[in-house]
Each structure stands twice: as C-alpha cells, then as structure tokens.
C-alpha cells in the first residue's frame, strides 16, 4: 500500500520589486476546496485574488506566511531571501510526512520531499493557492508601507519598478523599505 502524504503548496511574491519584503506562503488545503478560478496570482484580478484569498484561508487545513525584509534581502540576495521566506512559511505549519510542491526551480532546505515545478503557480492548483496567499499578504504590507511613505505611491505599484516609482525615487531618494542592492537604486 502506498504511503499517504499531506500535500503542501509553496510560492512567493515580491522577487522583482525595488521595495518591500519578499513573502512566501505554504498552504495545505483539500483539493475539493480549490476553486477552478484559482490560478497564478499575477493572472487574476485584484478583486478575484481577494475573494479567492478569503476562500483559501477559510478552507485551508493549515497555512502560513514567511516574510523576509528588504534589509535581509540586501544582506542575503533575493534568491536566498526567497528560499528563507519559503522555509519560514513551511516550518510554521509544522507538517510531518509532507510532499511539497514548490513553484520555480529551487526548493528551500526543509525536512520534506520537495518537488520543484517551473511555472507551478500556473500549473498546480495548490501552488496557485499559495501564490494568492503570498501576493495578497505582500500587497497588504505594501499598503501599510504606503501609509508611512505616501509620496512613493506604494499602494498602486507595490514597490515594483514602474516609471512613476523610479521618478519618485529620483525625486525623494530612497526610504528604509527600498532594496539598496537592486538596480537602479544601487546605481544612484
């Protein structure tokens, strides 16, 4: 008889922005609760993401997020910071006998059977669920940061390198949430 594993999906949000943390989520949810509307968080509207986020949290057996700050990203680099956020999120759900599906090419160092899947956030619904939890969580953090630094308009671009964001950096300089090792900031 084949051993039954608990399936965990892990994904991150925030690798590319010039400001804010990288956030990873680990989710355990029964397949019957994964709506057919679930997809990569970048492929669905903000309103639909919020609806699905609430459904996922309501129906998940377990979920957790791991957050790594912009200061840590500058110290570790974004690759290692992402893996650290993934590990933090996984460790917090305290799952034994898990099979873990991770979006991307690299898995965090965790005590579980990890399977990495390129474009997993589009292909594997449980990874898509983690993608949504990570993205909505990170967006909420960026809205809080916007309250502290409204001049950057973080609530709109969430720290990504938009034309307006780069113009605001040139006008106001950087704030404590900016990633100093990321271009074009590192070139200033």
With pLDDT > 70 as the criterion, what percentage of the chain qualifies? Answer: 98
Mean pLDDT along residues 166-178: 96
Residue 118 lies in a domain: yes
Domain residues for the domain of 90 are: 6-187
- Tokens 């949430």: give the residue: 177
Read off the pTM. Answer: 0.95
Residue 187: which pLDDT band, with cuts at 50, 70 and 90?
Answer: confident
Name the band, by pLDDT with cuts 50, 70 and 90, for residue 91: very high
The count of structural domains within the chain is 1
Q: What is the band of 41 on the pLDDT scale with cuts at 50, 70, 90?
A: confident
Write the CB contacts of 61 (distance below 8 Å, at least 6 apart in sequence): 28, 29, 30
Specify if 103 maps to a domain.
yes
Tell whether 23 is covered by a domain: yes
Query: Which phi and psi angles does 52 have, rounded to 5°?
Result: -65, -40
The CATH number covering residue 92 comes to 3.30.420.10
Mean residue pLDDT across the chain: 95
What percent of the chain shows pLDDT beyond 90?
86
Encoding tokens for residue 122? Answer: 């589009």
Give a yes or no: residue 74 inside a domain: yes
């Amino acid at each position: 008889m084949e051993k039954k594993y608990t399936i965990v999906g892990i994904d991150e949000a925030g690798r590319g922005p010039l400001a804010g943390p990288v956030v990873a989520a680990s989710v355990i949810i029964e397949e019957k609760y994964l709506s057919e509307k679930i997809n990569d968080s970048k492929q669905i509207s903000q309103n639909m993401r919020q609806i699905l986020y609430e459904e996922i949290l309501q129906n998940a057996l377990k979920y957790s997020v791991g957050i790594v700050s912009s200061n840590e990203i500058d110290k570790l680099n974004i690759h290692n910071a992402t893996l650290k956020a993934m590990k933090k999120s996984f460790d917090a759900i305290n799952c034994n006998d898990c099979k873990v599906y991770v979006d991307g090419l690299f898995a965090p160092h965790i005590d579980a059977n990890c399977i990495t899947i390129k474009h997993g956030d589009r292909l594997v619904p449980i990874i898509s669920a983690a993608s949504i939890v990570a993205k909505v969580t990170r967006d909420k953090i960026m809205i809080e940061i916007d309250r502290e630094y409204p001049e950057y308009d973080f609530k709109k671009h969430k720290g990504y390198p938009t034309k307006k964001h780069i113009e605001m950096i040139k006008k106001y300089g950087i704030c404590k949430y900016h990633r100093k090792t990321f271009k074009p900031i590192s070139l200033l």
